């Protein structure tokens, strides 16, 4: 097996099972630090994707091209997690595999998810704060900052059911991407697999709760900057709706539910069934 360039699907299932057991039994302090790093990486990738595409996103005629450019930049965050290490809430839903196999309890599974979610939030907030204070949102007469605000306002107005559905689709792609990356043995293979599925989810525009932590917290931090607000073409009434309560209730909550369903029901359960069919 050592000379193979990738694992078979059955071997990936076994690897995912043992990875889930290890994650669920990691001490709290290590989980929080690992999750902090992952949240920071994802937020930087998310805000970097806007940096690469804000001029295109601001123009309806080039919006689709802007999404494609953003999709090329965004996966850098996940690739850093896959190569450098980190615990990401959305991909940790794959611990479901170990819980369904009764290798870890559902209590331990839920505890890990909660700790990772909190750690991701802290890391994303840290990254959003630093970027918001760095002056880069001033680019193009504040257009970068304006697109950050416009994006954040849009995300708190999606609607609960749509946000859940969008979260399901997103984590189907994220978990499938992470699953596929486990098959790769080389760094280049992991990078390629880590890029493909994430590129698709960014192009579609579906909702990832950890990315939204970066997007929305950055928007909250700069929403009253008059230059950015003018560039966003939003009013004070529009950004008044962009507050911490609405961010959690109208985005983080439904998107988290959707991400859990996408990872647990569609991805982890499906792969568990696949693995069971290959048991001897």
Mean pLDDT of the chain, nearest integer: 94
Domain map (residue ranges) of the chain: 9-275
Model confidence at 263, pLDDT cuts 50, 70, 90, reads very high
Alpha helical stretches, state H, 160-186 = 160-183
pLDDT, residue 1, reads 43
- Find all residues with CB under 8 Å of 198, minimum gap 6, and list them: 71, 74, 75, 78, 173, 174, 177
Q: Helices marked H in 74-138 — which ranges? A: 76-84, 89-92, 96-100, 106-133
Do 243 and 176 meet the contact criterion of CB atoms below 8 Å apart?
Answer: no
CA-based radius of gyration for the chain: 19
Q: pLDDT grade, residue 274 (50/70/90)?
A: confident
Report the SS3 class of residue 91. Answer: helix
| Cα–Cα nearest to 216, from 194, 237, 236, 239 | 239
Q: How far apart are alpha carbons 126 and 40 in whole angstroms? A: 7
8 A C-beta contact, residue 190 and residue 184: yes
What is the fold, at CATH topology level, of the domain defined by 9-275? Glycerol uptake facilitator protein (1.20.1080)
Q: Tens of pLDDT along 8-49? A: 888 888 999 999 999 999 999 999 999 999 999 999 999 999
Region 56-68: mean pLDDT is 96
Look up tokens 């107005």; give the residue: 157
Tens digits of residue pLDDT in 70-104: 999 999 999 999 999 999 999 999 999 999 889 99
- Distance CA(101)–CA(138), nearest Å, equals 51
């Amino acid at each position: 097996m050592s000379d193979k360039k990738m694992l078979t699907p059955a071997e990936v299932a076994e690897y995912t099972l043992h990875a889930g057991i290890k994650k669920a039994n990691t001490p709290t302090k290590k989980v929080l630090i690992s999750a902090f790093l992952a949240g920071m990486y994802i937020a930087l990738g998310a805000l970097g994707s806007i940096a690469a595409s804000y001029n295109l996103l601001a123009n309806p005629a080039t919006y689709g091209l802007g999404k494609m450019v953003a999709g090329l930049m965004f996966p850098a965050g996940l690739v850093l997690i896959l190569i450098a290490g980190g615990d990401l809430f959305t991909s940790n839903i794959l611990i479901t595999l170990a819980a369904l196999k009764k290798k870890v309890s559902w209590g331990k599974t839920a505890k890990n998810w909660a700790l990772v979610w909190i750690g991701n939030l802290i890391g994303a907030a840290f990254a959003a704060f630093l970027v918001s204070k760095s002056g880069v949102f001033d680019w193009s007469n504040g257009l970068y900052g304006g697109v950050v605000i416009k994006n954040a306002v849009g995300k708190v107005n999606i609607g609960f059911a749509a946000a859940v559905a969008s979260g399901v689709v997103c984590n189907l792609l994220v978990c499938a991407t992470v699953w596929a990356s486990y098959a790769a043995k080389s760094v280049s293979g992991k990078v390629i697999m880590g890029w493909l599925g994430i590129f698709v989810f960014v192009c579609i525009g579906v909702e990832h709760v950890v990315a939204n932590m970066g997007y929305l917290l950055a928007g909250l931090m700069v929403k009253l900057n008059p230059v950015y607000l003018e560039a966003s073409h939003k009013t004070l009434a529009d950004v008044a709706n962009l507050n911490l309560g609405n961010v959690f209730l109208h985005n983080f909550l439904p998107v988290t539910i959707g991400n859990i369903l996408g990872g647990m029901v569609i991805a982890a359960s499906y792969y568990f069934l696949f693995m069971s069919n290959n048991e001897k």
